Structure 1
Amino acid sequence: MVYVLLIVNLIAFTVYGLDKWKAVKHKRRISESFLLTITFLGGTVGALVAMLMFRHKVSKKSFLWKFGLVLIVQLVAIIYFLKTQK
């Protein structure tokens, strides 16, 4: 499971970096829904590191709200999973 999360986070980091590069070059962008989906699927850390490192999507409030919602859903799911395992 750790390896899967590592790979998903590397993919998320790469996709966020690629989207930033495309934004700078005025090329066709990666959709926000795809960025949020890869984040939701476990790429939260990679996405967050990329957002901070590349200064990507950090000033877009609507995206940050959605990103925060993804984090909350993940936290609730983790807490629920941990409580049901006891």
Structure 2
Amino acid sequence: MENISSWLLYILIANTIGFYLMFKDKQKAKQRAYRIPERTFWLLAILGGSAGVYIGMQTFRHKTKHKSFTIGIPVLIAINIISFISLTVYF
């Protein structure tokens, strides 16, 4: 049970960071300031923050015209869910 709570905490933190970075990047885009690189969002999504990135995309209407994000992030959500279930079963 301790492993599950550790994984849940990790997923919660990763998704919170993903959501926050989407918010910050949208603000920076409006201000025409230096932006957060897209590879940062992809890395975070791969590492378990895909749901936060996706919710941030929808909430802030950011990167929703990028096909790679509108298709890739939902695919990573599915992969993250499968990975999380696998990790909790095997560890």
Range of TM-score over shorter length: 0.7 to 0.9
Identity %: 31
- Which structure 2 residue ranges, 5 or more long, are not aligned? 1-5
SS of equivalent to 1:20: helix
Stretches of 4+ aligned residues off by more than 3 angstroms? 68-79
Name the count of aligned residue pairs.
83
Query: Please, what TM-score do these two structures have when normalized by structure 2?
Result: 0.73
Let me know the Cα RMSD of the aligned residues: 2.1
For residues 66 and 9 of structure 1, do their structure 2 counterparts lie closer, same or farther at Cα, with a shift above 3 Å needed? same
Query: Please, what TM-score do these two structures have when normalized by structure 1?
Result: 0.77
Match of 2:51 in 1: 45
Tell me the distance in 2 between the aligned counterparts of 1:62 and 1:55.
Answer: 15
SS of equivalent to 1:45: helix
- Which structure 1 residue ranges, 5 or more long, are not aligned? none
Q: Which residue, out of 11, 17, 35, partners 1:11? A: 17
